[in-house]
Structure 1
Amino acid sequence: MTGARHGRVLVVGDIVTDVLAAHPAPLAPGADTRARIRVTGGGSAANTAAWLAAHGVPVALVGVAGGDAAGEERLVELGRAGVDHAAVRRAADAATGCVVVLVRGDERTMLSDRGANALLRPDDVDGPVRAPEVAHVHVSAYVLLDPATRPAGRHALATARALGRTTSVGAASAVALRAVPDFVDLVRGIDLLLCNADEARALLRLPAAGPAATPGTDLGTLAVAVAAHVGHAVVTGGPAGAAWARGGAVIAQAGGLAVDVVDATGAGDAFASGVLQGFVSGADPRAALRTGTERGAAAVTRLGARP
């Protein structure tokens, strides 16, 4: 790991409203299904920023929220959480992004409307990335996966690297990654890539987990393979723990924690915040993995993606 860097973490990506519906019984098509329903702040980037702020890391968020009441509510929430959202643009004629999350145990089905998030432009990120207090830039993969916002994500990473900032990307969705075959080229050379095992297989163009999965693709093997394209790679496996690789070798591993899962929404963002906090401070990778694992485990024990 590189030495300690003191400064602000800049997170680039989505801000959404999560409508969470936890239903213990299977859905009953054409009829009512009892559920616990909550409306909360969401979005991978916004969640990661909130988790970082909750643990004392100076953090700012770049994104686009709608000019609607939901956009105002999301920004108020982020401000109360300690996230600097001055660089979030309000798009007057657009609706704030929204995701309906159907939760049953550790399974989730999501209906997504990116809304104003799809309007992110390179000029939205240029000034914030260049701010002298920024030490590290973290980009949600959703920005890179959407052709409309990909230029903004690429500009953020390229500008950060040119200025000597460290960079990271949090992978977002294995299904979406398989639809973008050149994704590895979009992140090549960044300092840190975080993904789960399914996302790692998608990025490496390996078969999905199951009977047809490539033999030997444990977390460590996957992390080493991903790290061939970036400086550091962290691959998570839920209860199986996580592995951190650099330069062709696994440099740290952590076991998973056994907890009762209520809602896995935002668990990856919580985990990412622990690893990022360790990475930007120059902490030992093993300690950073433990912190990330603890936060991810805490996140799944309650409904909602924020701390």
Structure 2
Amino acid sequence: MTRPTRVVVVGDVITDVVAVLSGPLAAGTDTAAEITLGGGGQAANTAAWVAAQGVAVTLVGAVGGDDAGRDRVAELTRAGVDCAVERVPGVPTGTVIVLAADGERTMVTSRGANLRLSAEHVEKAVAAAPDAGHLHLSAYTLLDASSRDAGLRALAAARERGLTTSVDAASAAPLRREGAQTFLGWVRDVDLLLVNADEATVLAGGLDPAAQGRVLSATARRVVVKRGAAGAVWVEGRTATVSVVAARRVAVVDVTGAGDAFAAGLLTAWLGGATPTAALDRATELGALAVSSVGARPPA
């Protein structure tokens, strides 16, 4: 297996406030929790995990002109990520409050400066990475009208330059709001589409994962359905053989960023020439590592 060329990741940069609850959330009173503050955002997390695999990666995004924005860029740079991140004066950096308990998480989100990511900035950033071979887009960029042009331009610029492309479907609720056909029209002909079980149901209906993958393969050349503790399914072509890999069995501490780690493992292995089964195996390995510690980024 060879080391892939540079990966360009486009999407959100966020400050995560993660509260790992000691028990069920007690409405109207106190609930004890372990609380940490650090970097988050689907695209930023994925970029950090890609860098941790020794692969060159550029993150394209936007932060505010505040201390949080400065800190988010600095920590990504220390992690080995090349940051093509524009700073937007007078706008706060995005923030997410994550409530984690019983292997699940609930997120309260303010996307902040991420909504100001511009198509022009994306165009310049992609052009400034001539050694890139792949572009990965977080669909959060597509799922908000304010940043949609930037997401669409990212995919178009990648195709114009001959890069392969992938999209992480991001979140079931905004997908449901926009509608399956609308979203699938935006991502038509991408080389790889990643969806979790809820997202797959929104986009392809209540079928089994392999059948969902086959439905979605009418839009994307390859589809990966992430099933959490049940593993993952890779479908390539509507009549192709389906690859299935079981999840790793680990003690779950915090699931924040697990899908982003999974995406990084999948991309770096696949782009390096791994088979679908080997790529899924690497993806589930990194996903298991992610859920074993608090926070969305690779452990120090």
Choose from 258, 266, 271 the match for 1:280: 271
1:218 aligns with 2:208: yes
Aligned to 2:197: 197
Residue of structure 1 equivalent to 2:120: 123
Q: Partners in 2 of 1:5 and 1:31 — Cα distance?
A: 51
Provide Cα deviations, 1:38-82, integer angstroms capped at 9, x if missing partner: 001000000000000001010000000111111111111101100
The question of 1:180 aligning with 2:175 is answered: no
Deviations 1:159-191 (A, max 9, x none): 111211100101111111111111011101011
Contact persistence 1:223–1:250 (CA under 8 A): no
Per the normalisation by structure 2, the TM-score is 0.95
Report deviation, 1:262: 1.1
CA shift for structure 1 position 5:
8.4
Given candidates 292, 296, 300, the residue that maps to 1:301 is 292
Distance (Å, rounded) in 2 between the aligned partners of 1:100 and 1:113: 9
Q: How does 1:150-299 map to 2 (within 5 A)?
A: 150-181=148-179, 182-204=182-204, 206=205, 214=206, 217-248=207-238, 249-299=240-290
How many residue pairs get aligned? The number is: 294
Single out whichever of 5-14 and 163-172 deviates more from structure 2: 5-14
2:128 pairs with 1:137? no
Q: Which residue of 2 aligns with 1:108?
A: 105
* 1:148 counterpart SS class: coil
User: Structure 1 counterpart of 2:50, which letter?
Assistant: L
8 Å Cα contact 2:210/2:242 also seen in 1: no
SS at 1:262 equivalent: coil
Structure 1 stretches lacking a partner, 5+ long: 207-213
Structure 2 counterpart of 1:209: none
- Which has the larger displacement, 140-149 or 243-252? 243-252
The amino acid that maps onto 1:198 is D
TM-score, normalisation: structure 1: 0.93
5 Å matches for 1:22-41? 22-41=20-39
5+ residue gaps, structure 2: none
Paired letter, 2:114: N
- Closer, same or farther: CA 233–4 of 1 in aligned 2, 3 Å: farther
Distance in 2 (CA, whole Å) between partners of 1:268 and 1:258 is 16
1:119 partner letter: R
**Equivalent residue of 1:65, what SS?**
strand
1:218 partner amino acid: D
Q: Give CA-to-partner distance per residue, 1:232-274, whole Å, 9 cap, x none.
A: 1011111211111111124422111222211111000000001
- Equivalent residue in structure 2 for 1:56, among 50, 54, 57: 54
Q: How far off its partner does 1:6 sit?
A: 4.4
Structure-2 residue corresponding to 1:81: 79
Runs of 4+ aligned structure 1 residues displaced above 3 Å come to: 3-6
CA contact (8 A) 2:158 2:164 kept: yes
Q: CA deviation at 1:4?
A: 7.1
Indicate conservation of the 8 Å contact 1:243/1:250, yes or no.
Answer: no
Tell me by how many angstroms 1:107 deviates: 1.7
Equivalent residue of 2:7, what SS? strand
Distance in 2, Cα, partners of 1:25 & 1:240:
24
Alpha-carbon deviation of 1:30?
A: 2.3
Moved more, 243-252 or 58-67: 243-252
Q: How many Å separate the matches in 2 of 1:32 and 1:243?
A: 40
Q: Which letter does structure 1 place at the counterpart of 2:104?
A: E
Find the aligned partners of 1:156 and 1:300 in 2 and give their Cα distance: 30
Q: Among 94, 97, 102, which residue is 1:97 paired with?
A: 94
